[in-house]
Amino acid sequence: MKTVITYGTFDILHIGHINLLKRAKDLGDKLIVAVSSDAFNRGKHKSSLLNYENRKTVVEAICYVDMVIAENSWEQKIEDIQKYKVDTFVMGDDWEGEFDFLKEYCEVIYLPRTEGISTTEIKTDIS
């Protein structure tokens, strides 16, 4: 069984998120999604409209997702890869190269973003 993991805030869920999760799931048998906790977001000086529990529940309801865990720090990625026996780490290509250090633990793949949509753009449009 091949396990894939990805990370994100997943605030204001949109088609770009769904496309990423579907393509990530297509790379393996089990998809784990680490959703950024509220405390971790504050530490990154990033705000989300929805709290962690809300975002977690929404991501858990997506058919491509097999497990949701909390992302509490940048450093936990190696621990998660080892703990869950991850074969493939996936992120959007806006993070290209940022997680190449994980290649000693698993395959690292950067998937193209869905053009024309982002959470940042949505937040800008509604403010």
10-66: pLDDT as tens digits:
988 889 999 999 999 999 999 999 999 999 999 988 878 899 999 999 999 999 999
* Exposure string for 62-80, b = 16+ CB within 10 A, e = fewer: bebbbebbebeeeebbeeb
51: helix, coil or strand?
A: coil
Active-site residue (options: 2, 22, 30, 46): 46
90 phi, psi to nearest 5 deg: -125, 135
Active-site residue (options: 2, 22, 44, 103): 44
* pTM, rounded to two decimals: 0.90
Mean pLDDT for all residues in the chain:
91
Active site residue 44: yes
Active site residue 103: no
> Whose CA is closest to 46, among 114, 111, 113, 120?
120
